[in-house]
Amino acid sequence: MQKQVFNPYLPSWEYVPDGEPRVFGDKLYVYGSHDRFGSDDYCLNDYVCWWAPVSDLTDWHTEGVIYRAVQDPRNTDGKMHMCAPDCVQGPDGRYYLYYQLHALQCTCVAVADEPQGPFAYYGAVKHEDGTPWGEKKGDAFVFDPGVLVDDDQRVYVYCGFGAHGFMRYVFKMRGNNVDGSFCLELAQDMITVKGGEHPIVPGHNLAKNTEYEEHAFYEASSIRKVNGMYCYVYSSEKSHELCYAYSDSPTEGFRYGGTLISIADIGYKGNTTPLNYTGNTHGGMTEINGQWYIFYHRQTNRKKSNRQGCAEKLNILADGTIEQAQVTSCGLNDGPLQAKGCYEARIACLLSGKDGIISSDGAEKKDKKMLYPYFTQSGEDREDDGDQYIANMKDGSWCGYRFFAFDGDETNISICVKSTDYGVLTVHCEKDQAPAAVIPVCPSETWNSFGASMKVKEGTSALYFVYHGTGSMDFRSFEIR
């Protein structure tokens, strides 16, 4: 097979959510927070950097750790972890990494001579009197910084949080503004506040009876300039979707644009049924070789804090509006996947139990979660040699893969699974249509292969695998021959 790239685009053992894609020179870099597999808390690992040549998005490399939480002088004991970062090249040619320690109300900055680091602590974004931005009464609640260096080299940072109900009351009592997102300009030193805060997108309370209602700002600021317009990407109050607002000014006049991606495909062509685990998502846009992409993350391991980066192509219309992207398994790949070869089950872009999906936000009881399939891996968090698979497929559970390019010839398909009982895995091009293949499954405590012939029409098609039987099945991979 030719080399391909899938969703998630990084190796199965890597958990880098909140991905901010940046093209510097001839390389695409992704900066994100760094989850620890198995953990119940967010962002416990140090920052890493992954990059690929813009000429070959299948060829991913890592520089390893580029900045450690203990490098911040307020965190020498390492008890605070670093939330979603962003990285830009400053007017001086150096690279500035903006981040936040989860227990502090300020935006921190590290600097490096190269985009892949290593980064060194630089300071905290501060008012002219030296007070960190976020620590003065009335300052915005500083969270999830997004940064723009405009064409004229003016620098803007975007932050905020959209709380409502009791949470809003608590933060207001602390003196922070949590009514949405805000922008302020920085001096050329990349760290000193220049002027006041500008409201960008309203939170829940202020969004009522406006175009933002039902898609109010929650978190995850990200800003790009797209065809001369300022495009502001954010996670809405629904949390599972990234929306955008646009303006011809970096500081005012933003209008609601729509949803760019939902990790459960909610809203895509009017779909109202969640088709994958819901939970938070965060990401940004970038243009690569004339094509715009949206980066986001998915949920795994039945936890809200074991997240992995994905990406999809965006279609920008002639009037400048952007269509909602469909979640796929091919993502950064140049077209559908080849309908030949072996594929890991983990690249499923859709995953559901018989009665639908479940949220990863931790609200459900553990015994209820055991009814649903999920992405997981064996062992603990590690830096190589991943074995991610789909676990706990019970009767009616299904997973979907979009898309493959079939040549119309009859093929064979085999699966690698473990099962606690006898069952059947049916393979469909459309989930509710007759199966293209029926694969019997026998009980096994170790990974075992089963196969059948399969006939799929020529063209681009999805594949859906549906389990029928008692007990449960774990699904590691499938091969099309």
Count CB-CB contacts under 10 A for residue 342: 12
Cβ neighbours for 340, distance < 8 A, ≥ 6 positions apart:
1, 411, 480, 481
Chain center to CA of 318: 27
Tell me whether the omega of the peptide bond preceding residue 373 falls within 30 degrees of 0, making it cis.
Answer: no
CA gap 475, 345 in Å, rounded: 6
Residue 172's alpha-carbon distances to 106, 169, 206, in angstroms, are 16, 5, 14
389-393 vs 303-313, strand pairing mode: unpaired
What are phi and psi for residue 87, nearest 5 degrees? -140, 135
**Nearest by Cα to 80 from 89, 90, 71, 88:** 71
Chain center to CA of 178: 23
Edge to edge, the sheet with strand 255-262 lists 217-226, 229-236, 241-247, 255-262
Asked if residues 99 and 107 have their Cβ atoms less than 8 Å apart, the reply is yes
What are phi and psi for residue 152, nearest 5 degrees? -90, 10
**Nearest by Cα to 375 from 347, 337, 333, 403:** 347
Q: Is 277 left (phi over 0), alpha (psi -120 to 50) or beta?
A: beta
Q: How many CA atoms lie within 13 A of 367 on its CB side?
A: 0
What residues are labeled active site?
18, 219
